[in-house]
Structure 1
Amino acid sequence: MKKICLNLAIILLIFCSNFIYTPKAYAYSEEEKILLQSWRLVNEAYVDESFNHQNWWQIRQNFLKKPLHNREETYTAIREMLALLDDPYTRLLPPENYHNLQITTSGELSGIGLQISINPENNQLEVVTPLPSSPAELAGIQPRDQIITIDGINTQTLTLDEAANKIRGEIGTTVAIEVKRQNDGKIKTYELKRDRLSLSAISSRLDNSQSNYPIGYLRLNQFSGNATKDLAHALVQLEREGAQGYILDLRNNPGGLLQAGIEIARLWLQPSTIVYTVNRQGVLGSYDSDGEALTDKPLVVLVNQGSASASEILAGALQDNHRGILIGEKTFGKGLIQSLFELPDGAGIAITVAKYETPSHKDINKLGITPDQIVTQDPISYFEIGTEKDIQYQTAISYLATAKNYNNSNM
């Protein structure tokens, strides 16, 4: 009897042991999975190993305790979690924002091919320019035409972004825009079919205002996927037209793709360092130029407080390598590099993964780059850029003309 009881006790002990030490797997909800994926991406990639001097694992546990009943509550929790890093560039991008950012950086979208702006003098939505061979250009829409309505909606009630979103749309769909012609004031309605567009990141022209010294002007609007190709094409064309010096305009260019900034620097530089990067372990890496520049002619780079990120990488590389001089105002001061990661629901998260230094090891984050020649100017409209009212541009023209005279006198 004792033996039977003993065996029974052993069996019960084994059963109880298995019952106690076999944990039940916890099934995370879809909302919790998105929160956890966001946490994990930051945990693996964020530039600051201390996570702003916080216990990142404990933050994970705290946020998992929050009730997440729907996607909006999940997004709110992710935003609150990321805010603890005190880094405005590490941020959540809901699906629509993430998609729009991908479109912008790729340089392609669908629409009717209008670049638009708000005229500061009358707050009227205006056409800056129609894209070449776009539905808008083929219909005869011209720069400075006023857009009165979009699909019957008065544009005075729309922000610039709202107007742009209404003009964009799927290929093959139509949009009706009512336009007031700038030359004769006549009003005409256009029914235009949207098509695939390729956005040029560059506008360029030859300035012949200086006698026997044509100057090539290149305005870089964004560092998109096609920016390097567009700038190289414009630069080669200006060389053929006889440009003797260049102005590269990076004013109000907020940046874009890091790789585009590096590739554009290579168009101007002989073998040299373009930028240094520093990751979370403090490991120093670099991007270099190892080929021949497209031109070695004098260069002025225009910058202001709106020149940021990839604009500062490019400006810093040209300044530190003594390839060109900077004219204008101190730049924005964004010396951090972000990578984009996609979440399971089509949203995205931008994470600061490294910081950068200029070739002379200047950390410009929150400090900016100081131009070689500081020239301040009040805000001007888009249509005044490169005109007599553009003081910074005129200063660049004068500098290049002086450099030309100096070089001629020393021949």
Structure 2
Amino acid sequence: MVMTKSGLVLGATAVALTAVTVTGAGLHLSQSQAFFKESPKELVDEVWQIIDRNYVDATFNQVDWRAVRQEYLNRPYGNREEAYEAIREMLEQLEDPYTRFMDPKEFENMQIDTSGELTGVGIQLAQEEETNELVVIAPIEDTPAFRAGVQARDVIKAIDGKSTEGMDINQAVNLIRGPVGSEVVLTIEREEETMNFTIRRDRIEIHPVRYSYKDSPYGGVGYIRLTQFNANAVAEMRDAIEDLEGQNVVGYILDLRSNPGGLLNASIEIARMWLDRGTIVSTVNRQGEIDRESANGRAIADKPLVVLVDGGSASASEILSGALQDNGRGTIVGTQTFGKGLVQSVRGLGDGSGLAVTIAKYLTPSGRDINHEGIVPDIEVDLSEEERKAIRQNRTLIGTLGGDPQYSRALSILGDKVAEAKATTPAPNVLSK
């Protein structure tokens, strides 16, 4: 996530997705680069200072952080690589997989392109906090990983035969990425079954919004599927709603399933398209609330709304669905979301390396901690393994009455909401002559 709000990324792509804030210092090597080459101990101290000032947990995981500084500054460092190793060792004491050090190459890879075009296999990764396992948040639709059958919640056990035990997200991204047309083998564990996926890397252009007018017994329904909150999402969502409004739909189904997140600002602006008033999201650091985003009275759709989510809906998806749920604007249908609500600030260091630091967390308008709870649907509708397999093998089933049970239930619920809205709408006054 990037703390200038236009750049706040809620994810990392191996594409890998995580919430990061890129500060300006990190994108180019500073004038002090030569100094850090000569004095790697200063780099260790710079990292310690950043953690000391900004880390979300003021107890530093119950660690005496000042004693840690003394320990690591008393060590001799012969070169930058020794300092890098010491920094990683120091950060391990926080037991936070999202707070991590990146050498210059890893930092370069971390600067994920959110302009709507990616190069890779098309998966978003997270690191499970308790086990440190690399978990797929979701494959991006219509990408090599999606077509190969990779699913949300898959655990990556090896990359090209190299075990991922002890590996962080950036190391995994380095191994998964490669030249367009080359192949990578991912060893994946899914519900105690281990399988290998050979995936050909490609350039991935992402248009995140797909929509259609659907006939139903209740009238015309606007179906909008949002696959990622990238730089194209706001304009494409606005175009979709305005087009469907022009077709006089009676209500909407907003599909956020397997949407791993993206730009924070995109989630806020899209929430404002549906919400006329109310809080959208709060950001809280160790001192308390530091930011609150609200609707601005410029909603462009006020008709009944049902929102589809699942275990692959993460980060920005959870901010949007949580805002709509807490404000009573939409009914949430599906399964519990991923639960990724931490903010990382990504900072460049003096020698071209970088540091991601967890600095805050997101709360829904009612104060729910997204990172621990995720978003629990108002109405839970799960898919069987057979249904998931059928949809994975035939994407045209998504958003259809015959092949997508979650969509079918959402449509039924929307019908009830449309009928409710009609029943409570006052009849127009008719003047007799």
Which of 57, 60, 76 aligns to 2:69? It is 60
Residue in 1 aligned with 2:212?
Answer: 205
What's the CA shift string for 1:21-72, capped at 9, x where partnerless? xxxxx99735434333322222221111221122223222323345655555
Which of 253, 274, 277 aligns to 1:268? It is 274
Aligned length: 328
CA shift, 1:154, in A, is 6.4
CA shift, 1:269, in A, is 0.7
Return 354-363 or 382-391, whichever deviates more. 382-391
* Matched position secondary structure for 2:372: coil
1:39 aligns with 2:55: no
Q: RMSD over aligned Cα, in angstroms?
A: 3.4
Residue in 1 aligned with 2:392?
Answer: 381
What's the CA shift string for 1:179-221, capped at 9, x where partnerless? xxxxxxxxxxxxxxxxxx863222222222x146222222222
Q: Supply the distance in 2 between the matched residues of 1:41 and 1:225 (Cα, whole angstroms).
A: 29
Q: Check the 8 A contact 1:332/1:366 in 2, yes or no.
A: no
Q: Supply the distance in 2 between the matched residues of 1:286 and 1:207 (Cα, whole angstroms).
A: 36
CA shift, 1:90, in A, is 1.6
Return 236-245 or 67-76, whichever deviates more. 67-76
Residue in 2 aligned with 1:224?
Answer: 230
Cα 1:34–1:200 change in 2 (3 A) is farther
Structure-2-length-normalised TM-score: 0.66
1:397 aligns with 2:411: yes
* Matched position secondary structure for 1:255: coil
* Matched position secondary structure for 2:144: strand
Residue in 1 aligned with 2:312?
Answer: 306
Q: Check the 8 A contact 1:118/1:160 in 2, yes or no.
A: no
Q: Check the 8 A contact 1:336/1:355 in 2, yes or no.
A: yes
1:245 aligns with 2:267: no
What's the CA shift string for 1:275-320, capped at 9, x where partnerless? 1222211245411112220100111111112222222111111001
Residue in 2 aligned with 1:87?
Answer: 96
1:116 aligns with 2:144: yes
Which of 225, 236, 241 aligns to 1:235? It is 241
- Aligned partner of 2:224: which letter? L
Q: Supply the distance in 2 between the matched residues of 1:151 and 1:86 (Cα, whole angstroms).
A: 35
- Aligned partner of 1:36: which letter? D
CA shift, 1:397, in A, is 1.2
Structure-1-length-normalised TM-score: 0.69
* Matched position secondary structure for 1:331: coil
* Matched position secondary structure for 1:366: helix
Cα 1:154–1:335 change in 2 (3 A) is closer
- Aligned partner of 2:411: which letter? I
1:163 aligns with 2:177: no
Q: How does 1:274-285 map to 2 (within 5 A)?
A: 274-283=280-289, 285=291
Q: Supply the distance in 2 between the matched residues of 1:121 and 1:160 (Cα, whole angstroms).
A: 8
Q: Check the 8 A contact 2:37/2:351 in 1, yes or no.
A: no
Return 66-75 or 251-260, whichever deviates more. 66-75
What's the CA shift string for 1:322-348, capped at 9, x where partnerless? 110100111222332222212334443
* Matched position secondary structure for 1:381: helix
Cα 1:122–1:345 change in 2 (3 A) is closer
Q: Supply the distance in 2 between the matched residues of 1:42 and 1:228 (Cα, whole angstroms).
A: 34
Cα 1:157–1:318 change in 2 (3 A) is closer
CA shift, 1:160, in A, is 7.6
* Matched position secondary structure for 2:370: coil
* Matched position secondary structure for 1:204: strand
Q: Supply the distance in 2 between the matched residues of 1:122 and 1:361 (Cα, whole angstroms).
A: 34
Residue in 2 aligned with 1:328?
Answer: 334
Question: Structure 1: which 5+ runs fail to align?
Answer: 1-25, 124-149, 169-196
The ranges of structure 1 where at least 4 consecutive aligned residues each deviate by more than 6 angstroms after the TM superposition are 154-162
Q: How does 1:314-353 map to 2 (within 5 A)?
A: 314-353=320-359
Q: Supply the distance in 2 between the matched residues of 1:100 and 1:160 (Cα, whole angstroms).
A: 23
Cα 1:108–1:71 change in 2 (3 A) is farther
Residue in 2 aligned with 1:139?
Answer: none
Cα 1:110–1:121 change in 2 (3 A) is closer
**How many percent identity over aligned positions?**
45
1:259 aligns with 2:265: yes
1:78 aligns with 2:106: no
CA shift, 1:103, in A, is 3.4
CA shift, 1:243, in A, is 2.7
Q: Supply the distance in 2 between the matched residues of 1:232 and 1:366 (Cα, whole angstroms).
A: 31
- Aligned partner of 2:200: which letter? A
Question: Structure 2: which 5+ runs fail to align?
Answer: 1-34, 123-141, 152-178, 188-195, 426-433
- Aligned partner of 1:257: which letter? L
